[in-house]
């Protein structure tokens, strides 16, 4: 299964192929120098498999976790490319989850003002969300994704076989982003989450549908000036939960799950709450809600009039409302009874 995403400077293909990593050279242009970026939590055989298909591979393994998503690590990757004699004709591959993809893509976007980047997501979260759309970046001073760029990959390869080593909690956290997409754009997909057991056989279908939905949105609004803002459903408060200390206790998708609950109608809340419980996603905050409130001001979506917050009033639809800080705080505080 493939789909193509068109953007301002061209297009690229997202390939979904079970076992596709073994044939990575069929999907990407690798007859050149290639920096393969992965992390310590990804089986090392994945990077070695990709390296075998490259003319001149260089594997860099960074520590696992958000701490690697930093300017210092990005600088190290650029220094490696400089030391290895990379030119504008060479490429970077990210093999891992969202941290690796964002980090490797940002390094590729900056080195020599941009060289080719390919993404091989190894988590559900990365396959559904961060691998498609061209956003990349790093964290700074405890603020998530505050330094980065819009930089589209040359290609994406999703191999569902790589998910076999993931813990169930990681899979559920990744599915939170797919649930988000279904809630705001696809009622039939949301119904599937309510009724079907998402087994390995359904991973590809669910991930492919959610990722292709995101691709259509990115095509319509690459730079997040309009409809792409809808992808932030669950993220305005979710990022604040992460920054307030949730990052140490919760995965990103789990924070997004919690971030959706205050921003929906009562009818949507009942269905959404049921789906989150069904997939063992959190529905109660790990600390007092007030501790996350100061971090809302760091959200990149703030403008002169306030923040653009995404609401879901009916499954399969969304509304973007510009809220002042006081209105945003009132929305969250008014929904505290929903955390149970």
Task: Give residue-wise pLDDT tens across range 154-173.
Answer: 999 999 999 988 999 999 99
Mean pLDDT of 200-211: 86
Global pTM value: 0.88
Residue 211 counted as domain residue:
no
Q: Which of 209, 214, 229, 271 is catalytic?
A: 214
Residue 161 counted as domain residue:
yes
Report angle CA 94, 301, 268 to the nearest 5 degrees. 90
Catalytic site includes residue 232:
yes
Residue 214 counted as domain residue:
no
Residue 64 counted as domain residue:
yes
Residue 153 counted as domain residue:
yes
Decide which of 123, 146, 165 is a domain's last residue.
165
Q: Which of 135, 209, 229, 271 is catalytic?
A: 135
Residue 203 counted as domain residue:
no
Q: Which helix (H) or strand (E) holds 268?
A: helix 266-278
Specify whether 155 is located in the same domain as 186. Answer: no
Q: Which of 239, 254, 271, 338 is catalytic?
A: 239
- How high is the pLDDT of residue 191? 96
Residue 38 backbone dihedrals phi, psi, to 5 degrees: -145, 180
Report angle CA 173, 174, 176 to the nearest 5 degrees. 70
Binned at pLDDT 50, 70 and 90, residue 135 comes out as very high
Q: Tell me the per-residue pLDDT of 218-233, one tens digit each, with 9 for 90 and over.
A: 999 998 888 999 999 9
DSSP of 177-205? HHHHHHHHH-HHHHHHHHHS---HHHHHH
Catalytic site includes residue 242:
no
Q: Tell me the per-residue pLDDT of 316-325, one tens digit each, with 9 for 90 and over.
A: 999 999 999 8
Specify whether 187 is located in the same domain as 314. Answer: yes
Catalytic site includes residue 72:
no
Catalytic site includes residue 80:
no
Specify whether 60 is located in the same domain as 134. Answer: yes
Mean pLDDT of 127-142: 92
How many residues are recorded in the chain?
340
Strand partners, 155: 13, 118
Specify whether 93 is located in the same domain as 16. Answer: yes
Catalytic site includes residue 252:
yes
Q: Tell me the per-residue pLDDT of 55-93, one tens digit each, with 9 for 90 and over.
A: 999 999 999 998 999 999 999 999 999 999 999 999 999
Contact 256, 176 (CB under 8 A): yes
Give percent above pLDDT 90 in the chain: 76
Residue 18 counted as domain residue:
yes
Q: Tell me, letter by letter, the H, E, C secondary structure of 273-312.
A: HHHHHHCCCCCCCCCCHHHHHHHHHHCCCECCCCEEEEEE
Q: Which of 45, 72, 113, 304 is catalytic?
A: 113
Specify whether 173 is located in the same domain as 307. Answer: yes
Instruction: Name the residue among 134, 130, 162, 155 with its Cα closest to residue 26.
Output: 155
| pLDDT-wise least confident of 25-34, 200-209, 242-251 | 242-251
Q: Which of 69, 154, 180, 224 is catalytic?
A: 224
Catalytic site includes residue 214:
yes
CATH number at residue 95: 3.40.50.1970
Specify whether 120 is located in the same domain as 173. Answer: no
Contact 98, 130 (CB under 8 A): yes
Three-class secondary structure of residue 94 per DSSP? strand
Mean pLDDT of 129-145: 90
Specify whether 109 is located in the same domain as 127. Answer: yes
Binned at pLDDT 50, 70 and 90, residue 176 comes out as very high
Give percent above pLDDT 70 in the chain: 97
In angstroms, the CA 310 to CA 268 distance is 13
Q: What is the mean pLDDT of the chain?
A: 93
Catalytic site includes residue 177:
yes
Contact 5, 14 (CB under 8 A): yes
Specify whether 90 is located in the same domain as 189. Answer: no
Look at the chain and report how many structural domains it folds into. 2
Q: For residue 304, is pLDDT > 70?
A: no
Full residue range of the structural domain in which residue 130 is found: 2-165
Decide which of 165, 188, 206 is a domain's last residue.
165
Mean pLDDT of 6-35: 95
Specify whether 11 is located in the same domain as 97. Answer: yes
Q: Which of 33, 228, 229, 271 is catalytic?
A: 228
Residue 213 counted as domain residue:
no
Specify whether 161 is located in the same domain as 296. Answer: no
Contact 254, 173 (CB under 8 A): yes
Catalytic site includes residue 7:
no
Higher pLDDT, 96 or 144: 96
Specify whether 146 is located in the same domain as 178. Answer: no
Strand partners, 322: 308
Strand partners, 56: 33
CATH number at residue 255: 1.20.1090.10
Binned at pLDDT 50, 70 and 90, residue 247 comes out as low
Specify whether 88 is located in the same domain as 174. Answer: no
Q: DSSP letter for 122, please.
A: -
């Amino acid at each position: 299964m493939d789909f193509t995403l068109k953007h301002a400077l061209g297009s690229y293909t997202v390939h979904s192929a079970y076992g596709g990593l073994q044939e990575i050279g069929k999907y990407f242009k690798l007859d050149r120098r290639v920096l393969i970026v992965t992390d310590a939590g990804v089986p090392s055989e994945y990077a070695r498999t990709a390296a075998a298909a490259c003319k001149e591979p260089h594997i860099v393994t960074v520590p696992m976790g958000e701490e690697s998503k930093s300017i210092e690590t990005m600088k190290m990757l650029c220094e490696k490319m400089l030391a290895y004699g990379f030119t504008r004709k060479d490429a970077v591959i990210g093999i891992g989850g969202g941290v690796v993809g964002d980090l490797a893509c940002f390094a590729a976007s900056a080195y020599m003002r941009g060289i080719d980047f390919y993404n091989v997501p190894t988590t559900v979260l990365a396959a559904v969300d961060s691998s498609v759309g061209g956003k990349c970046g790093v964290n700074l001073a405890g603020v998530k994704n505050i330094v980065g760029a819009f930089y589209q990959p040359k290609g994406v390869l999703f191999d569902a076989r790589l998910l076999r080593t993931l813990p169930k909690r990681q899979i559920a956290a990744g599915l939170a982003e797919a649930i988000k997409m279904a809630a705001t754009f696809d009622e039939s997909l949301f119904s599937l989450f309510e009724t079907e057991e998402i087994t390995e056989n359904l991973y590809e279908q669910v991930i492919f549908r959610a990722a292709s939905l995101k691709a259509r949105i990115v095509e319509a609004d690459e730079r997040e000036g309009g409809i792409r803002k809808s992808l932030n459903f669950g993220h305005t408060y979710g990022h604040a939960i992460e920054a307030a200390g949730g990052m140490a206790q919760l995965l990103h998708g789990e924070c997004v799950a919690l971030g959706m609950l205050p921003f929906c109608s009562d009818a949507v809340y009942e269905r959404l709450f049921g789906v989150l419980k069904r997939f063992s996603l959190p529905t109660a905050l790990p600390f007092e809600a007030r501790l996350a409130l100061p971090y809302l001001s760091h959200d990149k979506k703030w403008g002169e009039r306030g923040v653009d917050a995404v609401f879901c009033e009916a499954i399969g639809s969304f509304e973007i409302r510009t809220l002042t800080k006081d209105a945003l705080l009132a929305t969250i505080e008014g929904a505290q009874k929903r955390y149970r």
